[in-house]
């Protein structure tokens, strides 16, 4: 997989036009309700039904998808009073609360390994509520397979009827792969992430992973409007179609090369939701692996690229410079076709777009872009404490070779702000200032 950034230069012009169209109308939703959804009582543990038919979620671009049923379900959900935990407003609030976007919350299931599991369960209960509202528990959400280069517009049905959200920046027919805050994310990268170890792909107890901070965050901010902020995102029905594909990324990872999800304490992580009968339920990660326990699967998986043949660790000194690898390792870089740079324990402050680049001989070379979805459009970002991410970027072979040159330095810059926050780096012998715990190249 090679990344050709130059192919995206042409998109810059359309992005400018879109930005002009992308002002938020005054009719935009005021914001999340921002109350603690938990009732005073302890949740009732979810019990996996004994027999259930597994029904596939299919692509929103598959002509077989039943849009009438989905639109009727969302129309019914939107018609419920806000006080009903099944209502669209309550679903949005549920997400806002667990994003720590609300005063008093303090729980953020983002930017940690809770990201995949919490959203898998959120979609499951959301799907059951939708099904119950149209008396059809065979209803399944569609997925927006933005990993497919032919499907990079927002599924057009989501601009109609109860699926529409008038606040979006992304216009009907416009590619999601556009410039956002000066950078776009190459969605072709997604295939390259499937072979990763879980800590890189899905994060750890303290760090978010590559899918969350790459394609996931990018699609949020590129769609814009309610979707551009975590506290309003789940008020837009496309949220659930987008997250269905995020979940399909995890599903594809689980299916690949006998990957297994992390051991304890991961399977015991427990989340709470309202079910279709308005009962407050708890569900564990172990209850959602494999997903057939939740009576659904995906009709397709994301095909990963060629296997990695070599991992080359890179060491950084206290001045953030990369120590050149030993000659045998450099030799491995000579015939590289595809390369990824993997960064673990990278710390960023606040949210938005962050560019990572390698600085060499007075010139900066782009490595990749990190998207941390902002919490709220209403307030000053409340989360200025550093958050940790593990990310991978596909880079051209010549950039990989540059990374191994004497004197190369890795720099992280927040885009759209004059403020440059290099948060760097140390591996061996790291002490208090460590900001990246590991850096390596994987080459194919």
d(CA 115, CA 109): 6
Output the smallest distance, CB 234 to ligand C2O, in A.
7
Question: Judged by CB under 6 A, which of 86, 128, 152, 216 binds ligand C2O?
Answer: 216
Q: What are phi and psi of 43, to 5 degrees?
A: -70, 150
* Peptide bond between residue 290 and the one before it cis (omega within 30 degrees of 0): yes
Question: Judged by CB under 6 A, which of 57, 71, 86, 110 binds ligand C2O?
Answer: 110
* Residue 112 found at the interface with ligand C2O (CB under 6 A): no
Output the smallest distance, CB 98 to ligand C2O, in A.
8
Which strands, in side-by-side order, build the sheet including 386-395?
207-208, 386-395, 339-349, 438-443, 310-313
d(CA 85, CA 105): 18
d(CA 219, CA 18): 15
Computed on alpha carbons and rounded to an integer, the radius of gyration of the chain in Å comes to 22
Q: Which is nearer to ligand C2O, 230 or 343 (CB)?
A: 230
Q: How many residues bind ligand C2O (CB under 6 A)?
A: 9
Which strands, in side-by-side order, build the sheet including 409-414?
363-372, 352-360, 409-414
Contact, 250 vs 278, CB < 8 A?
no
* Residue 383 found at the interface with ligand C2O (CB under 6 A): no
Q: Which is nearer to ligand C2O, 211 or 316 (CB)?
A: 211
- Tell which positions 84-103 bind ligand C2O, by CB under 6 A: 95, 99
| x-or-dash string of contact with ligand C2O, 243-282, rule CB under 6 A | x---------------------------------------
* Residue 220 found at the interface with ligand C2O (CB under 6 A): yes
Q: Which is nearer to ligand C2O, 141 or 333 (CB)?
A: 141
* Residue 230 found at the interface with ligand C2O (CB under 6 A): yes
Q: Which is nearer to ligand C2O, 168 or 216 (CB)?
A: 216
Q: What is the DSSP string of 361-375?
A: TTEEEEEEEEEE--S
Which H or E run contains 412? strand 409-414
SS3 319: coil
- Tell which positions 118-157 bind ligand C2O, by CB under 6 A: 119
Q: Which is nearer to ligand C2O, 119 or 387 (CB)?
A: 119
Output the smallest distance, CB 109 to ligand C2O, in A.
7
* Site residues, ligand C2O (CB under 6 A): 95, 99, 110, 119, 216, 220, 230, 233, 243
């Amino acid at each position: 997989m090679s990344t050709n950034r130059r192919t995206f230069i042409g998109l810059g012009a359309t992005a400018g036009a879109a930005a002009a169209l992308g002002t938020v109308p005054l009719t935009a939703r005021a914001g999340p309700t921002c109350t603690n959804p938990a009732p005073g009582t302890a949740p009732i543990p979810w019990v996996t039904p004994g027999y259930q038919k597994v029904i596939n979620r299919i692509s929103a671009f598959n002509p077989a998808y039943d849009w009438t049923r989905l639109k009727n379900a969302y129309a019914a959900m939107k018609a419920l009073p806000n006080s009903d935990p099944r209502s669209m407003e309550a679903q949005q609030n549920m997400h806002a609360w667990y994003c720590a976007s609300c005063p008093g919350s303090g729980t953020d299931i983002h930017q940690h390994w809770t990201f995949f599991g919490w959203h898998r369960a959120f979609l499951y209960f959301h799907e059951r509520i939708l099904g119950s509202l149209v008396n059809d528990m065979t209803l399944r959400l569609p997925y927006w397979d933005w990993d497919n280069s032919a499907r990079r517009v927002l599924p057009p049905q989501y601009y109609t009827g109860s699926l529409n959200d008038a606040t979006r920046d992304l216009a009907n027919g416009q590619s999601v792969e556009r410039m956002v805050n000066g950078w776009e994310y190459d969605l072709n990268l997604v295939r390259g992430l499937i072979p990763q170890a879980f800590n890189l792909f899905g994060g750890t107890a303290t760090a978010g992973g590559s899918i969350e901070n790459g394609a996931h965050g990018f699609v949020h901010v590129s769609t814009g409007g309610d979707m551009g902020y975590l506290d309003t995102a789940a008020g837009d029905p496309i949220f659930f179609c987008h997250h269905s594909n995020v979940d399909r990324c995890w599903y594809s990872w689980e299916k690949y090369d006998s990957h297994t999800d992390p051991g304890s304490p991961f399977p015991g992580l427990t989340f709470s939701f309202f079910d279709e009968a308005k009962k407050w339920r708890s569900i564990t990660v172990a209850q959602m692996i494999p997903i057939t326990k939740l009576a659904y699967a995906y009709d397709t998986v994301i095909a990963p690229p060629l296997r990695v043949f070599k991992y080359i660790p890179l060491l950084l000194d206290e001045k953030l410079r990369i120590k050149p690898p030993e000659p045998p390792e450099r030799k491995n870089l000579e015939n590289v076709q595809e390369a990824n740079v993997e960064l673990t324990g990278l710390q960023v402050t606040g949210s938005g777009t962050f560019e990572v680049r390698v600085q060499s001989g007075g010139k900066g070379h782009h490595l990749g872009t990190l998207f941390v979805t902002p919490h709220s459009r209403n307030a000053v970002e409340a989360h200025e404490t550093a958050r940790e991410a593990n990310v991978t970027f596909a880079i051209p072979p010549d950039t990989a070779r540059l990374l191994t040159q004497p004197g190369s330095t890795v720099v992280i810059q927040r885009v759209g702000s004059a403020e440059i926050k290099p948060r760097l780096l140390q591996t061996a012998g790291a002490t208090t200032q460590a900001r990246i715990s590991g850096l390596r190249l994987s080459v194919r």
